[in-house]
Chain A
């Protein structure tokens, strides 16, 4: 029996076990939507395509599954671009389906035509323009495979409307045959032995682990490795949660706004063990002064990430989990008591801190701490971008992977709220909280109605400082306090706005009201909640290693 391309798409998604599809309709995808109507998965209608793609991304990060998005041609497709690039930078598996004008019209400046494969080529892991309905099932199979294996990423499938309408016999391939795509999973045994030898001889080793460990679900192997070796561990922003930050060996986050002890440890280490991390410039600061005395071991599935920014002594290309499992079989603990006690002392001496007057104007860091306390560290925290993101990283202690969801590589404002919709759908058992800035939240505020519609009890905690705070901080520190266009105290009444959408809204102006309001918010379970925290306006994020500087130039706190 022949079925249409549109039906082939739905049937293929069913075979892939898709639970949710996010998206927005339009002319050339009506044939597909015609069958989405009766599809065996839930469809979540966003209010802007960017919201849909970030929601799919949040779903993917929270669940470890592939996020699926659909949009129409032209403006529908271009509205996805920021979201695709965001997912690409943070290696998030997405399958993105876009409609396209019919094949005979392509290249004619047809209505709502845009070269989607051309635009998405540099921001996707792979993309397809489907030219024949007979290829459709194979392409979808390949897309899921490519998106979710190796170093994951978004795969775009551009489907001309006449392909959706064409008919063909359906058969879903059992396997894929891609001779140019064979990710390497097992680390080379010789390299693994070499690494273990370096580890055993090290005096000042540090593990620097990133999002790759989350992606490969390797936190157990990683924890075993730390238990066996006793080596202190710092994580990147995207690696938070893979090792409990409450553990004595945890140095928490490193980098521009990392802890002093994490950056100190990395700088003074004689062996840096990088696992599923890619030496981003927000981590290394000035590359010339990064790890001056260390040998470097780098475990990563992506050969192109190895020796890209930092020359590596022992590269191990492979899946973090598998490589660590092999290492755990043979590695012996180094003698590093002195090093560990030096770092423990530093942790005690230079904890993350802020000036806490105890009452009055709300400290944004305090809000994050209170969220941590009241959720007992068990929530899924999403963030926007800016100071809110850094405070969420610093003052909430993450103990499980996939509980911190944030746009790291791309730094996309407006990511956090739609991502929290995807995360809440993936984790109905968890409280999902978006820690937001008053700037970022306005970038995708339209998605609020989606959370209301689906009765998702997401809490949006706006750390409202009336500024585009992170940019203002740079202007204060490096541009002579000229706050050019970063003051946004001309904002909507967020409480009223929440209520207009049918969400719950709170406004909090005093420190002493924070616990009570949070408690009230946490008691609401049938709709989203916006809490507008009016926080101290010119609070800065510290410590800070200024861009391109070495950690010796760390600014620890406000200079008087």
Chain B
């Protein structure tokens, strides 16, 4: 029975929502609009090509009130250009993300940095006299770890692609 017939406010959680959409202009604005209209900031958004030329998939990571996100998922489903909405938050998934990070790298630190890179299977994407640019990919949690460990060397610039997420089954 509905508690007092009312719909309580939920608590705040991070959600991972995968949205299959028609590969058309304007779709991104529609999808993003549903979040922005509620004052929600999207943590990350990756738009990816799929096995079907006509379809793209958007992986959206967003924090929000459970009840509001439930509503947003329904609204996403209502968009004509949205083919399917899947919530990956609680499901078994494979997730991948890439990070590029530029470090202040004075020569005496380089050996340690190389070691960390090896451990995290990160690549050296570029080197200049004062900086070194690394690229790492993998599970977003692993990347969090990686970033934590290289922070002491002085991050000049960092960017993450935002994750893509696929259900295991």
**Chain A interface residues (CB < 8 Å from chain B):** 117-118, 121-122, 125-127, 129, 146, 178-181, 272, 287-292, 294-296, 302-304, 307-313
Q: Across the interface, do A287 and B78 meet the contact criterion of CB distance under 8 Å?
A: no
Interface residues on B, range: 20 to 34
Q: Across the interface, do B6 and A304 meet the contact criterion of CB distance under 8 Å?
A: no
* B161 within 8 A of partner (CB): no
Interface pairs A-B: 10 shortest CB-CB: A311-B2, A304-B74, A291-B5, A180-B83, A126-B80, A181-B80, A311-B7, A287-B6, A180-B82, A288-B6
**Cβ-defined partner of B81 (8 Å) among A180, A291, A292, A303:** A180
Q: How far is the CA of A178 from the CA of B79 in the complex (A)?
A: 11
* B22 within 8 A of partner (CB): yes
* B3 within 8 A of partner (CB): yes
Query: Please, which residues of chain B bring their CB within 8 A of the CB of A129?
Result: 25-26
Q: Which of B1-21 contact A (CB under 8 A)?
A: 1-7, 21
26 interchain pairs, CB-CB under 8 A: A121-B26, A121-B33, A125-B80, A129-B25, A180-B79, A180-B80, A180-B81, A180-B83, A272-B5, A288-B4, A289-B4, A291-B4, A292-B5, A294-B5, A295-B2, A296-B5, A302-B78, A303-B78, A307-B7, A308-B74, A310-B6, A310-B7, A311-B2, A311-B6, A312-B2, A313-B1
**Cβ-defined partner of A121 (8 Å) among B21, B29, B70:** B29
Q: How far is the CA of A291 from the CA of B2 in the complex (A)?
A: 10
Q: How far is the CA of A126 from the CA of B29 in the complex (A)?
A: 12
Known: A118-B29, A287-B6, A309-B7. A295 touches B1 (CB 8 A): yes
- As a 0/1 sequence over residues 76 to 91 of chain B, the CB contacts with chain A under 8 angstroms (1 = contact) are 0111111100000000
Q: How far is the CA of A312 from the CA of B25 in the complex (A)?
A: 36
Q: How far is the CA of A168 from the CA of B2 in the complex (A)?
A: 57
Query: Please, which residues of chain A bring their CB within 8 A of the CB of B21?
Result: 180
Q: How far is the CA of A302 from the CA of B70 in the complex (A)?
A: 14
**Cβ-defined partner of B75 (8 Å) among A117, A272, A292, A304:** A304
Known: A122-B37, A146-B80, A304-B71. A290 touches B5 (CB 8 A): yes
* B30 within 8 A of partner (CB): yes
The smallest C-beta distance from B120 to any residue of chain A, in angstroms, reads 39
Query: Please, which residues of chain B bring their CB within 8 A of the CB of A291?
Result: 4-5
Q: How far is the CA of A427 from the CA of B85 in the complex (A)?
A: 43
Kindly count the residue-residue contacts between A and B in the assembled complex, taking CB atoms under 8 Å apart: 70
Q: Across the interface, do B78 and A304 meet the contact criterion of CB distance under 8 Å?
A: yes
Q: How far is the CA of A311 from the CA of B10 in the complex (A)?
A: 12
Q: How far is the CA of A287 from the CA of B4 in the complex (A)?
A: 9
Q: Across the interface, do B83 and A179 meet the contact criterion of CB distance under 8 Å?
A: yes
Query: Please, which residues of chain A bring their CB within 8 A of the CB of B83?
Result: 179-180
Q: Across the interface, do B2 and A303 meet the contact criterion of CB distance under 8 Å?
A: no
The smallest C-beta distance from A386 to any residue of chain B, in angstroms, reads 28
Q: How far is the CA of A313 from the CA of B6 in the complex (A)?
A: 11
**Cβ-defined partner of A292 (8 Å) among B4, B71, B77:** B4
Q: How far is the CA of A287 from the CA of B33 in the complex (A)?
A: 27
Q: How far is the CA of A150 from the CA of B73 in the complex (A)?
A: 18
Besides A288-B6, A296-B5, 19 new A-B residue pairs in contact (Cβ under 8 A), listed by A number: A118-B29, A121-B29, A121-B30, A121-B33, A127-B26, A129-B25, A146-B80, A180-B80, A294-B5, A295-B1, A303-B74, A304-B74, A304-B77, A307-B70, A309-B7, A310-B5, A310-B6, A311-B5, A313-B2
Query: Please, which residues of chain B bring their CB within 8 A of the CB of A121?
Result: 26, 29-30, 33
**Cβ-defined partner of A310 (8 Å) among B1, B2, B25, B75:** B2
The smallest C-beta distance from A540 to any residue of chain B, in angstroms, reads 29
Q: Across the interface, do A117 and B26 meet the contact criterion of CB distance under 8 Å?
A: yes
Query: Please, which residues of chain A bring their CB within 8 A of the CB of B70?
Result: 307
Query: Please, which residues of chain B bring their CB within 8 A of the CB of A307?
Result: 7, 70
Output the nearest chain B residue to A146 by Cβ-Cβ distance: B80
The smallest C-beta distance from B3 to any residue of chain A, in angstroms, reads 7
Q: Which of B3, B7, B33 is packed against the most chain A CB atoms within 10 Å?
A: B7
The smallest C-beta distance from A380 to any residue of chain B, in angstroms, reads 31
Q: How far is the CA of A307 from the CA of B10 in the complex (A)?
A: 13
**Cβ-defined partner of B22 (8 Å) among A127, A180, A290:** A180
Q: Which of B21-38 contact A (CB under 8 A)?
A: 21-22, 25-26, 29-30, 33, 37
Known: A180-B83, A304-B75. A122 touches B2 (CB 8 A): no
Known: A294-B5, A311-B2. A178 touches B80 (CB 8 A): yes
**Cβ-defined partner of A311 (8 Å) among B3, B30, B81:** B3
The smallest C-beta distance from B40 to any residue of chain A, in angstroms, reads 14
- As a 0/1 sequence over residues 35 to 77 of chain B, the CB contacts with chain A under 8 angstroms (1 = contact) are 0010000000000000000000000000000000011001101
Q: Across the interface, do B3 and A303 meet the contact criterion of CB distance under 8 Å?
A: no
Query: Please, which residues of chain A bring their CB within 8 A of the CB of B81?
Result: 180
Q: How far is the CA of A294 from the CA of B4 in the complex (A)?
A: 8
Q: Which of B65-121 contact A (CB under 8 A)?
A: 70-71, 74-75, 77-83
Query: Please, which residues of chain A bring their CB within 8 A of the CB of B6?
Result: 287-288, 290, 309-311
